[in-house]
Amino acid sequence: MAINVAVIGCGYWGPNLIRNFYENPEVEVSYVCDLMPEKLAKLARRYPTIKLTNSYDEVLKDSKVNAVVIVTPVFTHFKLAKEALLAGKHVLVEKPMCSTSAECHELVALAEEKGLTLMVDHTFVYHGAVRKIKSEIDKGDFGDVVYFDSTRINLGLHQNDVNVVWDLAPHDLATMDYLINSNPVSVHATGASHIGNGIEDIAYLSLTLENGVIAHLNVSWLSPVKIRRILIGGTRKMVVYDDLDPAEKIKIYDKGIKSEEPQTSEGRHERLIQYRIGDMRAPVFDMTEALKAEVEHFVDCIKNKTTPVTDGRAGLRVVKILEAANLSLKTGQPQSLEVAAGKSK
Amino acid sequence: MAINVAVIGCGYWGPNLIRNFYENPEVEVSYVCDLMPEKLAKLARRYPTIKLTNSYDEVLKDSKVNAVVIVTPVFTHFKLAKEALLAGKHVLVEKPMCSTSAECHELVALAEEKGLTLMVDHTFVYHGAVRKIKSEIDKGDFGDVVYFDSTRINLGLHQNDVNVVWDLAPHDLATMDYLINSNPVSVHATGASHIGNGIEDIAYLSLTLENGVIAHLNVSWLSPVKIRRILIGGTRKMVVYDDLDPAEKIKIYDKGIKSEEPQTSEGRHERLIQYRIGDMRAPVFDMTEALKAEVEHFVDCIKNKTTPVTDGRAGLRVVKILEAANLSLKTGQPQSLEVAAGKSK
Amino acid sequence: MAINVAVIGCGYWGPNLIRNFYENPEVEVSYVCDLMPEKLAKLARRYPTIKLTNSYDEVLKDSKVNAVVIVTPVFTHFKLAKEALLAGKHVLVEKPMCSTSAECHELVALAEEKGLTLMVDHTFVYHGAVRKIKSEIDKGDFGDVVYFDSTRINLGLHQNDVNVVWDLAPHDLATMDYLINSNPVSVHATGASHIGNGIEDIAYLSLTLENGVIAHLNVSWLSPVKIRRILIGGTRKMVVYDDLDPAEKIKIYDKGIKSEEPQTSEGRHERLIQYRIGDMRAPVFDMTEALKAEVEHFVDCIKNKTTPVTDGRAGLRVVKILEAANLSLKTGQPQSLEVAAGKSK
Amino acid sequence: MAINVAVIGCGYWGPNLIRNFYENPEVEVSYVCDLMPEKLAKLARRYPTIKLTNSYDEVLKDSKVNAVVIVTPVFTHFKLAKEALLAGKHVLVEKPMCSTSAECHELVALAEEKGLTLMVDHTFVYHGAVRKIKSEIDKGDFGDVVYFDSTRINLGLHQNDVNVVWDLAPHDLATMDYLINSNPVSVHATGASHIGNGIEDIAYLSLTLENGVIAHLNVSWLSPVKIRRILIGGTRKMVVYDDLDPAEKIKIYDKGIKSEEPQTSEGRHERLIQYRIGDMRAPVFDMTEALKAEVEHFVDCIKNKTTPVTDGRAGLRVVKILEAANLSLKTGQPQSLEVAAGKSK
C-alpha cells in the first residue's frame, strides 16, 4: 500500500521534494500546505491531483496521511514536527532539524516513544558521490582520515532568519558526520555580516573531532564564484569531491607522505620526509538523484520500521555543532562540545 | 655603474634570485655563498664568472659588494642581515623577514641609521596580476573592500624549521598588506601536525583588520591538489585571483548585493535583498616575471635612495601577524595585535 | 484562448517538449501519442490530465487540436508533418526536419499554401547564450566574422537510423545559420564507423560560405569526454561559447591581428604582424531554458501569424548541408551546394 | 669525452636548445651562430664562454665541433644540414625537417653514407606524457587504436615563410607517427588565410592510415584560446592528453562500446549497443623536460651509433604528409600518399 504524504512548505526547496515524492511509485502525495496562496497556485497546473491547502490542521486531522514532510523556515520545524508526531505521523524535516538542540532532543524522544520514523533531510548523505567516498573510507582504502576541509560559497541566497552557518554548514557537517564516525569536541567560528542586519553572511568554522581529525568549513553567501568542494586527507589516500565538476566529481589521489627520524649516530638530526605521488583515479558512482534515493530510504524506513541513516540523532548532532558555532561567533572564543555518549549508528 | 651583488644561499629559491640578478643589466653578481659545497657545484657550469664561496666573511669584507641578497633558512636571516648592514651593504632578505618582530625592529632601525636599503622578498607584490588588482582597488572600482579570502595549499614541501604558517602565509599576508591599507587587530589560528614532529602542516587563520575587513587564510602542505586562489570582495565588485589559471588569472565580477529595510506602514518587516549580477571581465596585465620586477625595484631603490614598497616595515608587519598566529595556535585563543601607529607608506 | 497541442513521440527528447508545453500558460496539451505503450505508461503518473494514445489518426481527427509537435525518428518526420498540415494543424518538428531536402521543400510549400505555421526545433537558436552572441555580432562588435569552429563530441548515443552528422551537426549548422547570414557553397566531410553497422560515429565537416567564412564541425559519438564548444572569429573580437561551462558560457576576447606590408624603399620585404590582446569579457545573458523560449515563440507565431526564426526554410537549409555532407562522406569528394536564391529572413 | 656542439639559429626556439645542450654534462657548446647580431648579443651575458659568430663556415671548419644543431627557418634546413653532413658533423634539425620530401630523402641517404647521426627535433616524442601513452598502447591496454584527434590552436605566431600546417601540424604528426605504427594513405586538408598574404592560418587535416585509423588535426594561429589536446580512441580504452592541464595531462578512460546484432527469430532487427563507463585514471609519468631527454637521446645516439627514435626517416614521413596536405589545400582534393615500404623502426 502506498505511503500517503503531505508536504508542508513550497518555497525554494519544497518543489524538489514534492517532485521526488510525487514520482516515487510507493507514495501518494495527498497535500501540499503553505501559508502563501501564490506559492500554492504555481503548483496547481503541474499537480492537478494534489490538494493544496493553507491549513496544517486539515492535514494532521486527515487519518489517511501517513507522513509529513516539513520544508518550512527553521524556526517553525520544532512546532510543526512535534504536532505531526503527536498526530501519529512519520516526519521528514528539512535541515537544520530545529533551532536548538533541546528541541531536537525533545523530538527524538517523542518519535521513539511513539514508534514513528523521524528523519532529517541531510540530502548529501544520499548523493552517490558521498556514498562512494563512504564505501572507500570504510574499506580502509584511505588509511586513517586526518582532515576534512570544505568550501561552500556562492552569491546568496541571504536568509532573513538564520545566518550562513545555519544555512550552508549543515550540508558539510552532515556529510562529515556520515563519513567520519567521530564527534567534534571543540568548535571555533569567525564571521561577519555585510548587509546591515547583523546576520553573518561569511563564516569559517574550525573543529577538532574526538578521534583527532581536524575539520574546517568555509561558508559564504558573498562569493562571486560558486565552489562546492570537500577535501579529505587520509594517511594513505586523499580525495577531492567537487560537486560542480560535471565529469569527475570524485578524484582519489594515491598521494601520501612518510616521515622518519633517521638514527644517525652523529651529525645533523634531520627528519626525512618522503612524498608518494601516484596515479589519480576518478571512480564512477551511482548517478541517481540524491533526493530520489532519500525519498526511497524514508519510505523503506517507514515500511520496515528501520532507523534512517539521517535520523533525529544525526540531526541533533549537527544542531549541537551549529549552536556551539553560533556561540563562538558571538563570544569570539572556541567552544567545547560535550561529547555525546555515542552515535546512534 | 653596476650594482655589485652577492647572493647568500642557493637552495630551493636562491637560483631564481641568482638568475634574475644575473640577467639584470644594471647588476653584477660577484658571489654566491652557501655552506653546502654540492649546491655551489651545480652553479659552476651555468655561471662560470661568479665566485662561489662558503665564507660569508669573504663576501662582507669585499668592498666592491654593494648589496647582499639573503636566501637562507629563516632563523639565520637576522644575524646575516645585521652583519651585512653593519658592513655597509644594502640588503634584500627572503620572507619571512626574521624569526621575531623584535629582530625585524632592530634591522629596520639599523638600516635607517645606516641609510641603507632594506627590502623584503615579498614576491607577489611585484606580480603583474597583484599590481593590476591594486590599481583597480585604488581607482575605487571595487568600492570598499570587505573581505579577503585566500587558499594556498598543495602537497609539501614540509619544512623542518618553520610551520606551514611561516612558510606559506607570508605570501598572502604580504599581498593583503599591499592591497588593503589596514593592519590586523586580531588573529585566530587553528592547525594540526601530521608527521610526528609537532610542526603544523595545515593551518587556518582568521583576521580582523582595523578597517573592519575580515581576512581568512587556508594554508596546507597536505593537500592532494594545488590551489593558489585569493577572493577579494568589495561593495561594488568582487575579484578572484587564481594564480594557476594559465589564461585568466584575474576575474573581476560586476556582482553585488543591496539590502534595504522597506518602510512598510504595516505588515511583515522583511529585509529586501537585491543581487546585481553583471559581466565578468578578465583584464590583461603586465606579464613580466615578478622576480624580474622585484630585482629592478631593489636596484632602483638603491640608486635613488627611495623606500621599497616591501621595505623592512612591511616585513615587520607580516612577522607580527605570524607571531600572533603562532601564539594563537599554541594557546587555542584569539590574539590581539597592538595596532601599529601607522604604515610606512 | 489556449493553443491545443498534441505531442507525437515520447522517447528521449519528447518529455522535455511535453514538460515545456505543459507549463506554458497559453497552451493546453491534450494528447501524447507514441507507438510504444511502455513509454506512454511512464507519463501517466506525471501528467494525469493528458490523453495517451497510440493512434495518430485519433489526434489528427480531433478538431480541438491546433498544433502537432513531432518528436519521432527522422525518417517519419515528412509523413507525419505532411498529414498534420493536410489536417490543418500547425507543426513543430524535431531536427533534422526531414530525411531529404525534397521533402523539406514539399512541407514548406504545403505550409505556405495552407497558411499554417511550420517550425523546426533548432533548440540552440533559442538559447540565451546564442541570442546574446547574435546581438553582439549584429551590433558589429566582432567586426566581420571570418570563421566558425565547433566541437560537439561525447560517448553515444549511437543511433540506428542516422549517422552522427545527421544527429549532432544540425545543432551547429542551425546555430551557424542563425548567427552568420550566409549559405555554404561547398562541403567536405570525412568520417568513420566503428561498430560494424556502417553508420559513421565520428565525422568532420569543412564548409565554405558564400561570404568567405570557413566553418568546421567536429562531431563524435565516440569521445570519452563531452565537449560542446563553438569558436567564432571576427576581425575585431573572437568568442568562445562553451555550453558546458557552468559559470561563463560566453567569453568574448578583445583580441585581433593586424598585418601590413611596410613600404621599405629597400631591404627585406617582411610583413609586419601585430597582435592586439585585450581584456576578456563574459557577458551575462538571459538564462531562460531554451525550450521554454522556443515554445513561447511557436505559440506567438501561431497567434500572430508571423514567421518563426527557425521556419521550414531554415530546416531546409540545414538538411541541404546534411545531404551534401553525406554525399561527400560516401564519395570522398568535396560537394558544391547550389546557392539558395535567398534566405527567408 | 664531451660532444662538442654548435647551435645554428637563436630566434624563438634556439635558446631552449642552447640551454639544454649547455646544461647537459656530456656536451660542450662551443658556438652559437646567427645572422642577426642583436640576437647573438642577448646571449653574451648569459653564456660568456660560448663563441658567438655569424659565420657558418667558421663553425663547419672547426674540427673540434662534432655536431650541429639547426634551428633556422625551414627553407634553410636542407642546405645547412647537407653542408654539415658533408663536413662530417652529426646533425639535429628543427622540425619540419626540410621543405620537400626530396630534400629529406637526400639528407637521409647522405647521413647513412657518411655514418653520421641525423635526428629531427620532434620534441613531443620525448615528452614524458607521450612516452607514457606509448607504453600503455604498446602494452595493449587500449585495445586497437581507432582514431587520433588533435587540436592545436592559439593566437599566433604567424610565420612569413610557412603556413600553419607546416608550423603546427608536425608536432601532432610526429606524435602520431610515434604512437601509432602506421602510415597515412590519404590526406584531405581545408584552410584559409586571413591576413592578406595567402598563407593559411587555420587548417583542418583529415587522414586515413594504412591500418584503418582515422586521424584529424585542427591547427590555428587565429584562436583566442590556447588548446593543446589529443584524443586517442581505442577499442578498450580512450585517452585524452591535454598538454595545458597543470595537474593531469593524461586521462585514461575505461570507456568503451559494444555492439551486437541480436538473433531475433522475428520482430524488429535492432542493433544493441552497450556502453561501458568505468573509472578514469590519470597516471603519473616522468616529468623531465622533453628537450632535456631529447638532448640526452641525441648524445647517446652519437656515442653508441644507434638510430634515433626521431631519425631522418621519421622527419621524412612527416614532411611527406605536409606536402600532400599542402597539395590538398591548393587543389581542394584529397591526396593519396604512396605508402612507404616500411618504417625505419
* Residue B321 three-state SS: helix
Look-up of cell digits 585569493: B230
Contact B78, B16 (CB under 8 A): no
Note the maximum CA span of chain B: 84
Q: What is the mean pLDDT of chain A?
A: 94
Q: What is the pLDDT of residues C280-335, one digit of tens each?
A: 999 999 999 999 999 999 999 999 999 999 999 999 999 999 999 999 999 999 99
First vs last C-alpha separation in chain B: 29
Q: How far apart are CA C260 and CA C247, in angstroms?
A: 38
Among B277, B278, B281, the residue with its CB nearest the CB of C279 is: B281
Q: Are β-strands D250-260 and D272-282 bridged in parallel, bridged antiparallel, or unpaired?
A: antiparallel
Question: Which of C24, C28, C29, C46 has the most A C-beta neighbours within 10 Å, making it the best mutation to test the interface with A?
Answer: C46
Q: Residue D219: enclosing H or E segment and its boundaries?
A: strand D214-220
Q: How far apart are CA A86 and CA B39, in angstroms?
A: 77
Q: How far apart are CA C246 and CA C242, in angstroms?
A: 9
Q: Are β-strands D51-53 and C335-336 bridged in parallel, bridged antiparallel, or unpaired?
A: unpaired
In chain C, domain spans: 3-122+291-310, 125-287+319-336
- According to DSSP, residue D339 is labeled P
**Structure confidence at residue D196 (pLDDT):** 82
Rounded to a whole number of angstroms, the distance from the CA of A248 to the nearest CA of chain D is 8
CB contact under 8 A, C49 and A48: yes
Q: What is the pLDDT of residues A216-229, one digit of tens each?
A: 999 999 999 999 99
Q: How far apart are CA D179 and CA D122, in angstroms?
A: 13
Q: Residue B103: enclosing H or E segment and its boundaries?
A: helix B101-114
Rounded to 10 degrees, the C-alpha dihedral C21/C25/C30/C33 comes to: 0
pLDDT at A314 over 70: yes
- Chains A and C form CB pairs within 8 A to the count of 22
**Structure confidence at residue A272 (pLDDT):** 81
**Structure confidence at residue D338 (pLDDT):** 74
pLDDT at B341 over 70: no
pLDDT at C341 over 50: no
ipTM rounded to 2 decimals: 0.94
**Structure confidence at residue A196 (pLDDT):** 82
Amino acid making up residue A291: L
**Structure confidence at residue C263 (pLDDT):** 59
Average pLDDT over residues B139-152: 96
Look-up of cell digits 568505468: D278
Look-up of cell digits 607522505: A257
Look-up of cell digits 552569491: A155
Count H helices and E strands in chain A, helices first: 9, 15
Q: How far apart are CA A186 and CA A213, in angstroms?
A: 11
Of residues D129, D88, D120, D81, the one with CA closest to residue D316:
D120
Q: What is the pLDDT of residues B243-265, one digit of tens each?
A: 999 999 999 999 999 887 766 55
CB contact under 8 A, B244 and D246: yes
pLDDT tier, B115 (very low <50, low <70, confident <90, very high otherwise): very high
Higher pLDDT, A136 or D259: A136
Question: Which residues of chain A are within 8 Å of residue C46 when distances are taken between CB atoms?
Answer: 22-23
Give the residues across from D220 on adjacent strands: D153, D202
Q: How far apart are CA A149 and CA B52, in angstroms?
A: 45
pLDDT tier, C123 (very low <50, low <70, confident <90, very high otherwise): very high
**Structure confidence at residue A268 (pLDDT):** 53
* Residue C24 three-state SS: coil
Rounded to a whole number of angstroms, the distance from the CA of A203 to the nearest CA of chain C is 23
First vs last C-alpha separation in chain A: 29
Higher pLDDT, B270 or C151: C151
Cα separation values, C23 from A46, B231, C29, C40, Å = 7, 40, 9, 19
Average pLDDT over residues C50-70: 97
DSSP structure string for B133-159: HHHHHHTTTT-SEEEEEEEEEEE----
CATH superfamily of B3-122+291-310: NAD(P)-binding Rossmann-like Domain (3.40.50.720)
**Structure confidence at residue C264 (pLDDT):** 59
Residue D56 φ then ψ, to 5°: -65, -35
Q: Are β-strands C238-242 and C250-260 bridged in parallel, bridged antiparallel, or unpaired?
A: antiparallel
Q: How far apart are CA B334 and CA C284, in angstroms?
A: 42
Please indicate, yes or no, whether the overall pTM of this predicted structure exceeds 0.90: yes
DSSP structure string for C50-92: SEEES-HHHHHH-TT--EEEE-S-HHHHHHHHHHHHHTT-EEE
- C98 CB-near residues (< 8 Å, 6+ apart): C74, C77, C78, C81, C104, C107, C315, C319
Q: What is the pLDDT of residues A261-273, one digit of tens each?
A: 765 555 555 668 8
pLDDT at A344 over 70: no
**Structure confidence at residue B266 (pLDDT):** 56
Q: How far apart are CA B79 and CA B87, in angstroms?
A: 12
Give the residues across from B216 on adjacent strands: B149, B206
Contact A321, A185 (CB under 8 A): no
Contact B84, B59 (CB under 8 A): no
CB contact under 8 A, C226 and A247: yes
- D252 CB-near residues (< 8 Å, 6+ apart): D136, D141, D237, D238, D239, D280, D281, D282, D283
C97, three cell numbers? 526536419
> Angle, nearest 10°, between helix axes A312-331 and A101-114?
170
- A152 CB-near residues (< 8 Å, 6+ apart): A168, A169, A171, A172, A217, A218, A219, A220, A227, A228
Q: How far apart are CA A96 and CA A167, in angstroms?
A: 8
pLDDT at A340 over 60: no
Among B25, B226, B247, the residue with its CB nearest the CB of D247 is: B226
Question: Which residues of chain B are within 8 Å of residue C248 when distances are taken between CB atoms?
Answer: 280
Share of chain B above pLDDT 70, in %: 95
b/e burial code for range C240-266 (CB count within 10 A of at least 16 → b)? bbbbebeebbbbbbbbbbeeeeeeeee
CB contact under 8 A, A196 and B155: no
Q: Please name the residue of chain D whose CA is at the shortest distance from the CA of residue A253.
A: D282
First vs last C-alpha separation in chain D: 29
Question: Which residues of chain A are within 8 Å of residue B224 when distances are taken between CB atoms?
Answer: 231, 233, 238-240, 251, 253, 255, 280
Of residues A219, A188, A216, the one with CA closest to residue A203:
A219
Contact C91, C118 (CB under 8 A): yes
Q: Please name the residue of chain B whose CA is at the shortest distance from the CA of residue C279.
A: B283
DSSP structure string for C113-136: HHT--EEEE-GGGGSHHHHHHHHH
Rounded to 10 degrees, the C-alpha dihedral D12/D13/D15/D16 comes to: 140
**Structure confidence at residue D279 (pLDDT):** 97
Average pLDDT over residues B211-219: 97
**Structure confidence at residue A270 (pLDDT):** 63
Q: What is the pLDDT of residues A181-200, one digit of tens each?
A: 899 999 999 999 998 889 99
Q: How far apart are CA B256 and CA B236, in angstroms?
A: 6
- Chains B and C form CB pairs within 8 A to the count of 22
Q: Residue D113: enclosing H or E segment and its boundaries?
A: helix D101-114
Question: Which of A245, A281, A285, A286 has the most D C-beta neighbours within 10 Å, making it the best mutation to test the interface with D?
Answer: A281
Name the H helices within A7-73: 14-23, 37-46, 56-61
> Which residues of chain D have a pLDDT value below 70?
262-271, 339-345
**Structure confidence at residue A342 (pLDDT):** 44
Higher pLDDT, A87 or C160: A87
Q: What is the pLDDT of residues A82-103, one digit of tens each?
A: 999 999 999 999 999 999 999 9
Q: How many CB atoms lie within 10 A of CB C342?
A: 8
Average pLDDT over residues C254-272: 71
Q: What is the pLDDT of residues B50-104, one digit of tens each?
A: 999 999 999 999 999 999 999 999 999 999 999 999 999 999 999 999 999 999 9
- D63 CB-near residues (< 8 Å, 6+ apart): none
**Structure confidence at residue C24 (pLDDT):** 95
Instruction: List subunits contacting chain B, requiring 3 or more Cβ pairs under 8 Å.
Output: A, C, D
Among D23, D244, D247, the residue with its CB nearest the CB of B45 is: D23
**Structure confidence at residue C197 (pLDDT):** 86
Q: What is the mean pLDDT of chain B?
A: 94
B302, three cell numbers? 638603491
Instruction: List subunits contacting chain C, requiring 3 or more Cβ pairs under 8 Å.
Output: A, B, D
**Structure confidence at residue A341 (pLDDT):** 42
Look-up of cell digits 637563436: D10
C51, three cell numbers? 490523453
Instruction: List subunits contacting chain D, requiring 3 or more Cβ pairs under 8 Å.
Output: A, B, C
Q: How far apart are CA D230 and CA D232, in angstroms?
A: 7
Pick C125-287+319-336's CATH classification: 3.40.50.1820, 3.30.360.10, 3.30.70.580, 3.40.50.300: 3.30.360.10
Q: Residue A137: enclosing H or E segment and its boundaries?
A: helix A128-138
**Structure confidence at residue A267 (pLDDT):** 53
Query: Which of A38-42, C227-231, D159-163 has the highest mean predicted lDDT (pLDDT)?
Result: C227-231
Of residues D81, D50, D47, D87, the one with CA closest to residue D66:
D87
Average pLDDT over residues A279-295: 97
Q: How far apart are CA D108 and CA C286, in angstroms?
A: 61
Q: How far apart are CA D127 and CA D123, in angstroms?
A: 7
Question: Which residues of chain C are within 8 Å of residue A46 when distances are taken between CB atoms?
Answer: 22-23
Q: What is the mean pLDDT of chain C?
A: 94
**Structure confidence at residue C173 (pLDDT):** 98
